Structure 1
């Protein structure tokens, strides 16, 4: 595409590194020939990538075993799904009829050839099988698979008539929903865990289940790509559970129905109030002396909002001896925000006016200096692209400088330089039914603010999970260490807490970080969340959400 007379190359988000390895030969073990959206998404992505060869869909008529559920659970699960987890049918891009792309093999447990060794399975020479139902393949056959039988944890939380994935978390009010990708190597060996992630729970079990399954495709494809590229299966640090939760009984289902009705009513009331402009999320700012490594929010001073100026996502910027703060700004009843700027004066902000306005929502005004230029990369996900703006008259005049990732829904992006290389970290929403910017962190090597060359990381998304993935401010370099603030989205609350992550290793093939600190909204009374941090010149600033 062309912009201001310059040519910008449409970036490719898939890793383009070449592999000399033969494609992985994969089988999918299912219980019927009727497929859910997440399974169709998975088939589509496997067919799209030459590193994989989906050899067969294996249909196991006895794949649900003798597991039964109460009629009430079946009814509630169906109604829950219709009311809160309805989604459009997934339309594949790489196949019309899956039977034209892969072989279907029906397994029969009564057939001696299956229990003692099936020629149909053996001739496939599969590298691995993905199990989507509670019962897997015979242990002896699994032991012949070079990379074993894989299963996502929700595969065990279902019967032929009902699915209770996410049910226990809703009933218990759990802070997160966990999903794991486990492997069975057969031969009596213990199960291993390949990877896991935690997600912010929804108010409905059916919605939890549908959301988790969509995100599971992303986790699964990342680990399949890792295996295809390296030829080695590396296990994670977690342990695989071999004792999945059984179906809830009638009393548990009844308690769930009561809680669901209460939650749905509260949710509907809040939504009506929001649309009427009566209810608005109100954020406040806190500031104090300190750095990303050492700051105590208990000692911070509040910079309170005004009814016509609610401030969030603050970024500090020192210029001409003064400290400025750029922030997302909106008023009670507004449905979108713009970027505004003020000057810090003691324990207050002197408003200077709007910096960037748009017909769509703007937030996360990441402002930075490169040479003599001052740039800003605000969140513009409603425009389905990343935008870089250049300052022409500080601090109120800006012009569009560059765009990137056209067509992609990207949020809270940040740029930084490390050992002579520029890196872009962005929260993309790779989704079908559930747009969500809190669960995937993607990394790219770039050429700087022009963003004319973008090389995706080999392990994108490099971080998966709503408790750690979403950026919560700029990346800091301090005393040879690299720190990334991230959001901790939990308890069904967007922006519940704040993490300080330390990036320990970063290259085109490796990304490794660890959480060194988590801040929860207990440092001042009346707070429901905190989700952004920035610091400059020995001073820090963060935002916090006020309880309604």
Structure 2
């Protein structure tokens, strides 16, 4: 199979670690081939990384200095601001990659441009700080791809991720767009959003790394199909602007971060932790109300979350993630509903890795469980050998994948698997929702849906439960908040599902079923007679 021939466009050989990591990633892919790096100096006015030395610029440098020290505490992002010289070391590959310098006002008659024509470039990746001239786009069969943030589509911005953290916004957006010489403008290929982190550079590091993983996914798809994915309709941007803060805003931001850090430090010192508990209502999920619920907390040193209900032989069981603070891992425990109380009856499943989200389903008269086991890099299916406390591994649906909160269900004569992926290796499964199908839930080969990813959005990209009600399928989805995992649950009805289409509509936000003082919620389950949710609170947890 012919490889996808790529050219990389840069302002300078001095670039960031994300561009360098992209070179290294691309060199490992069998279907991709890097053929040239193009240095295209940006116009002075477009170089956002060299702001004028105004009071505003100096104030922002103070923010950068303080944030740089904060990043040292996050091993995954310590190199976020590092500068890499692509012409030194082994970044461009063991054989070296030609780097050409072009002038923006050049054209096909220049020697360098004629040399590019002979390379047969399929696609350009724009990592520069300005739009590419149409003459350069014309040399690429598929035009150019680039990642954009807010008001600068396809272009980087020095303060990407700042204003979302400043304003405590729940999501930080990005887009991936294509451009070519023939089109009048850019086409949107993907618009997504990740959960906003509590500080600017930490948020920016998450944004850059996770959006780059999405660009890599698209490139692999283009290499296999030979064409760009179809454009998507644009959605309103939620971010404020891509401008530097003025001096007063910079000082306010530093005060905000100091207050956030102080709150976290005081909580740790006093052993005040965010923890999860359960609320059960003897009611159909449509009629469940918080004021009628019974609150249930785990024993000291534990918390219970991700409740799944199953009625069997006249008894109602609740499987939960049972987290131990002492080990910082969880196993699956079982509770039984007895006279409006959930009574612990034992451990159902324990592994050497973390387990949560014990999704339960029935197939051919047997009971199965698919817990979240992303630490194992597998989607594992267990069969009950003596329900509810004895289980054995019977199938591995997928291997070598970082997936969380997987759900199986049957529809239209096929079995479907909804799961959330982490492509960036940051242990964050809150945004990308994907769909697969097979003839049986015990299959080990699953076909990806052509609509994948269904979402790249922290407001709906992670599962929170499945409700099958009178022939209708409702997917519960987690809604993430600012610096908070599990702020609320949204409910979506799947209204169209087949081998080529997936469509769902939002029905409601499930806030009335959790206590009013809860900090958040991220799961719901029902038998039709009993409904249970988990909710987030703060408490002393030794």
> How would you bin the TM-score normalised by the shorter chain?
0.7 to 0.9
Secondary structure of 1:438 counterpart:
coil
Is 1:83 equivalent to 2:70 in the alignment? yes
Q: Confirm whether residue 26 of structure 1 aligns to residue 6 of structure 2.
A: yes
- Greater CA drift, 347-356 or 315-324: 347-356
- What SS does structure 2 have at the residue aligned with 1:472? strand
Supply the distance in 1 between the matched residues of 2:227 and 2:156 (Cα, whole angstroms): 38
Matched residue, 2:419: 426
Query: Of 262, 267, 288, which aligns to 1:265?
Result: 262
Aligned pairs, number: 517
> Does the residue aligned with 1:367 lie in a helix, a strand or coil?
strand
- 1:35-434 residue pairs with structure 2 within 5 A? 35-49=15-29, 51-62=31-42, 65-67=46-48, 68-69=50-51, 70-84=57-71, 87=77, 97-98=92-93, 100=95, 102-109=97-104, 118-142=113-137, 147-154=142-149, 163-185=158-180, 189-228=184-223, 229=225, 231=227, 233-238=229-234, 245-271=242-268, 279-291=273-285, 294-298=286-290, 300-308=292-300, 310-330=303-323, 335-432=328-425, 434=426
- Between stretches 280-289 and 491-500, larger displacement belongs to 280-289
5+ residue gaps, structure 1: 1-19
SS at match of 2:370: strand
Q: CA deviation at 1:240?
A: 8.4
Alignment TM-score, normalising by the size of structure 1: 0.81
Instruction: Give the drift of 1:352.
Output: 2.0
Q: Find the aligned partners of 1:146 and 1:416 in 2 and give their Cα distance.
A: 42
**For 1:66 and 1:467, how far apart are their aligned partners in 2?**
33
Specify the alignment match of 1:464 in structure 2: 456
Query: How far apart are the structure 2 equivalents of 1:519 and 1:210?
Result: 32
TM-score (norm 2): 0.82
Aligned equivalents of 1:46, 1:470: Cα separation in 2: 28
- Against the structure 1 CA distance between its residues 456 and 110, is the aligned structure 2 distance closer, same or farther, given a 3 Å change threshold? closer
Residue segments in structure 2 that go unaligned for 5+ positions in a row: 52-56, 85-89
- Equivalent residues in 2 for 1:454-493 (5 A)? 454-457=446-449, 460-474=452-466, 476-493=467-484
For the Cα contact (< 8 Å) 1:166–1:208, is it kept in 2? yes
* Cα deviation, residue 356, structure 1: 2.1
Q: Distance in 1 between matches of 2:221 and 2:324?
A: 46
For 1:532, the equivalent position in structure 2 comes to 523
Task: Return the alpha-carbon distance in structure 2 between the equivalents of residues 195 and 479 of structure 1.
Answer: 35
For 1:209-242, what per-residue CA distance to the aligned partner results, in whole angstroms no more than 9, with x for missing partners?
Answer: 1111111123223434454526355221215889
TM-superposed CA distance for 1:296, in Å, is 4.6
2:435 matches 1:443: yes
1:29, 1:136 within 8 Å by CA — same for their partners in 2? no
Change (3 A) 1:40 1:301: same
Contact 2:433–2:454 (CA<8 Å) still a contact in 1? yes
Q: 1:317 to 1:186 in 2, by over 3 A?
A: same
RMSD: 3.7
